[in-house]
Chains A and B, each alone.
Chain A
């Protein structure tokens, strides 16, 4: 299934996106006129050297940053036109985040960390518990529900974070260097888990990494360099 999703309508559509940061009086251009589509159900790896703007691009797609110009549609929604509050509500229902350093709340248990996004949905306590237990089981941590993050290994923490990203059942999952802080073995587990999410739960995944071995788990790879995107290259063997 090298390009099995080619016929599906794009979930993400970027058109002529530019983004720059101000550093003092200096303006640092990061993205200059980026345009591409990501089909629903794809697993795309975004590669590039450090500082090339991978995180910036991912943050725009995930709706936690705004482009300077250009159009950004996710699932038909022009997220550049949403107000801040609308955007927050949109993220809660449509995007799952996986971070390099897991970003769990240290004072909450694994269960409570996973439950957090559900507090933004109108669910009963019992419904929330069912959802949380289901995703914890999916990532293989049902017996660690009452553990605090500092009682878990890095790999386990990242699996809790994946459960948190999944629990509100978003279509899009963004992962910024999710294996950057893990040993080879744990990294492989996490990447396998992401493949499962993509294959069995049909999640669209954008994986930012500078590790070619990690990128090889995706369907396709795009390279970002000096604010420009290379043509996508399909990964064989999927």
Chain B
């Protein structure tokens, strides 16, 4: 009992310019909407994917971030000797005791200083983070003043490129390798030997955090209980993924609130635009509406045809907006993560979920914008409508 889809489609095609202008307005909103979701997904990808499922991170109880945390050597020894911790072929626990400090580097672009995370690690750190590969050069030699630098840092900061020298803590450090962790937070870090970095920063006896790999991730709760109930330890443990998700929460919330506020405001304009277009479509086709009703099409069929027209128009806007937003994948944002106070680079990530959400969002705008005009079309008196021919 419905009108054919082609009726709505061809009417959109007949008024190409109006359709395109209306859909274009919606596309701009959709672009903002999709870009926000993509940014959030990018941030999530960067921070959450920094963590590994099997890994557990230990920090001082109450320390929100590694930079505020401290774990003494004896405590570190106790943690890695827990039975849940995986051991290597040599019987040594798979753990990395790490020290995290912020160093100030100058940007290549404008000489402005910015904080960069420097992480002192043991050589097992690379085994614990299999996503990290050496993109250029080689790994630092233990016992030397050598560094590897995340790819986002290498290009952005003075002295951070391969073969260059960084000055900090009263010494010169040679950059011997570039690490690529596929967009995770490690791409925004500088790594060196913990036993070299710690004395340089005069904190020989205290690590910032430590990461261990569990032999079986399901034993996490037992491990956590053992550590957190041990009176000798003032340490809390988190799954590494959870830890990084918590790190990104404030920024993700900020992006989401800002983006959704913008989207909400813009979408009112786009919906009003769609409404005006649909009202004029209804007014222009009053005679057609009367004719269709006379032929026996019900009010609901007329309502449906105009709603479908509005939805299709919005879908055009949604697709254009998504297409524009997909180019944002080429853009990388580098900004200060206000939870760790360090520079963090992340990109816009398109996911199937975002495509679906964005198209649904555009359809929702079409539905809201088209509802009242479609209701007006459906509510027309047949005789009055026919007299308008």
Contact = CB atoms under 8 A, between A and B. Distances in A.
B295 A92 contact: yes
A106 B386 CA distance: 15
Contacts of B296: 88-93, 117, 120
A81 interface: no
Contacts of A97: 291, 294-295
Mostly, the A contact residues are helix
Nearest to A101: B389
A119 B287 contact: no
B291 A103 contact: yes
Interface in A76-96: 84-85, 88-93
Interface stretch (A57-65, A151-159, A189-197, A227-235): A57-65
A105 interface: yes
B389 A103 contact: yes
Nearest to B295: A117
Interface in B292-307: 292-299
A106 B382 CA distance: 19
Contacts of A92: 295-297
A93 B291 CA distance: 15
A83 B190 CA distance: 78
Interface in B358-389: 382-383, 386, 389
B14 A64 contact: no
Interface residues of B, number: 26
A105 B7 CA distance: 9
A21 B16 CA distance: 40
Interface residues of A, number: 27
A34 interface: no
A167 to B, nearest CB: 10
A15 B187 CA distance: 89
Interface string A46-64: 0000000000000100101
A100 B389 CA distance: 9
B14 A106 contact: yes
B295 A91 contact: yes
Contact of B294 (A91, A108, A112): A91
B65 interface: no
Nearest to A100: B389
Given A88-B298, A92-B296, A107-B14, A112 B383 contact: no
B1 A120 contact: yes
Nearest to B387: A55
A223 B224 CA distance: 98
A69 B4 CA distance: 37
A169 to B, nearest CB: 13
A14 interface: no
A207 B2 CA distance: 30
B389 A64 contact: no
Nearest to A93: B296
A150 to B, nearest CB: 11
B253 interface: no
7 contacts: A64-B386, A88-B293, A88-B297, A88-B299, A91-B296, A107-B13, A116-B295
Q: Which 10 pairs of residues, A with B, have the shortest CB-CB distance?
A: A92-B296, A107-B10, A103-B291, A64-B382, A91-B296, A88-B298, A65-B383, A120-B296, A101-B389, A64-B294
Given A64-B293, A91-B295, A91-B296, 13 more contacts: A59-B382, A64-B294, A64-B386, A65-B382, A99-B386, A101-B389, A103-B288, A103-B290, A103-B389, A108-B6, A117-B296, A119-B1, A164-B295
